[in-house]
Chains A and B, each alone.
Chain A
């Protein structure tokens, strides 16, 4: 037999990604991640391009109870984007992305039995979890980069020039950290409970929606302090589209992510894998 240099059934691209758990996870999820990025980018484009029409109309009255959601300024570009785009649709999209992907990374494979096979290989649970998280983060980066590029592309045609490029970058960075935070939360829930994928996704996404609502209603409930307990405050409370990078806020999101990830590692290492 002639020397075989590589296996049949593998493309050069597949082989380029199969050298690590991180690469392989990215490769296996390439279509899913692309769809998430495309859908979020499309949504951003749709709403951002409506700004010229919306800003020329008198602002609709917002009920006072909804003030905390930040949907009341539709005149300035930053205010409009902070409301409809970065205040509602896009963050909820990336929270769902983080929850869904986080649930796939451990729970789905534990449910199917694939995790048994992987962990019977020379890879530690810690390493597997961190590589999978890194792949999740790469997918989140792709989504946020798409959103950023869409906004930069529409910046002049949709009259968004009053927001600086740095401010867009700052908001996209917050979006990225919000997404990976919920990814890490889903991993921590998986590691803590050994639940199936649907339960992990449902719980994580529900916590996301709850946190979003708490942050929105906190001011009208005379419990303004409550917003500090939700990640959404650190994501958008400092108004990065106006004030650019709010480093302390970003640091809080990053620290919370690191904490959840460390918790996930610890819990996954301690428990029995279930089937």
Chain B
């Protein structure tokens, strides 16, 4: 198997509305893949195509080497899925629900379920409708992980989880990856994904706008330097300097964007009396928003 997930020119239109517009993507076996984009970018559409819940308008989908449309049942045996809002019949108890879902999969060892529930602090005897949104989501986490699937497809999995449980969730993802599973995880929050993901794709309006390792995305980020002087200094003094891509002056403060070594900037600033200096590296969240907005600020 060359790819865990292979999307080729995948397009999905809903009437006149476009869900996906020619998305091409390869997820390697064993990697944790972050799938990012704002709400409505096409993340859930992609995931529902992977699971054969909806059918592509054009293009092709291969998951674990299978065609989801033709081999749905065989494929689903090897996949764990969790949606952002986990919904089941609320009248049943947590244990009943997991027992049934496990048996749909041909049976899951009760001990596995019990230990997952313990880690997530989930009461198996509670009625589902009595649970908070966060606790209901834990039921979803257990059913997605309990059969140790080869591929985990997680659509906004941490929505509603409290931070402590999010930590446990990230551990579960890391453990699954260590055991060789592939994890495809969508989110609209970068920080949620950057801790565990090997690579990250960013989609916007149904198109891929960036695909890279977390490390490379981080390397692409720039430094924002804010210099304060004893008296006003024109921005023009800095604009032409090597690696300074942008400079603006506001009174005695000059703000520069630097995409490499700041040496020239520091030497130019040293000709004046510098009363303050602040440098922030742009975090991934900000970078991510740059892609979202479609402008390179």
Contact = CB atoms under 8 A, between A and B. Distances in A.
Interface stretch (B28-36, B111-119, B201-209, B265-273): B111-119
B99 A117 contact: no
Interface residues of B, number: 45
B103 A18 contact: yes
A3 B111 CA distance: 7
A9 B100 CA distance: 12
Interface string B35-53: 0000000000000100111
Contacts of A121: 76, 101, 104-105
Nearest to A115: B53
B91 A7 contact: no
Contacts of B210: none
B230 interface: no
Contact of A113 (B85, B101, B105, B110): B85
Interface string A17-34: 011110010001000000
Interface residues of A, number: 31
Interface string A223-267: 000000000000000000000000000000000000000000000
B110 A116 contact: no
B76 A120 contact: yes
Contacts of A8: 95, 114, 124-125
Given A4-B114, A15-B99, A28 B76 contact: no
A124 interface: yes
B256 interface: no
A120 B110 contact: no
Contacts of A53: none
A226 B75 CA distance: 49
Contact of B125 (A9, A112, A114, A119): A9
Contacts of A119: 51-53, 72, 76
Contacts of B23: none
Nearest to B49: A272
Interface in A105-150: 112-114, 116-124
Nearest to B95: A9
Contacts of B153: 120
Nearest to A111: B87
A54 interface: no
A28 B99 CA distance: 13
A273 interface: yes
B111 A116 contact: no
B96 A122 contact: no
A117 B86 contact: yes
B11 to A, nearest CB: 14
Contacts of A6: 99, 110
B129 interface: no
Residue among A3, A10, A123 with most chain B CB within 10 A: A10
B51 A120 contact: yes
Contacts of A60: none
Given A122-B104, A272-B53, A18 B96 contact: yes
Interface of B: 48, 51-55, 72-74, 76-77, 79, 81, 83, 85-89, 91-96, 98-101, 103-106, 109-111, 113-115, 123-126, 143, 153
5 contacts: A7-B114, A10-B96, A21-B104, A114-B87, A114-B89
Given A14-B93, A14-B96, A116-B83, 16 more contacts: A3-B111, A7-B99, A7-B114, A9-B93, A9-B96, A9-B123, A18-B96, A18-B99, A18-B103, A114-B88, A117-B81, A119-B51, A119-B52, A120-B79, A120-B153, A272-B55
Which 4 pairs show the lowest CB-CB distances between chains A and B?
Answer: A9-B95, A9-B125, A272-B54, A9-B93
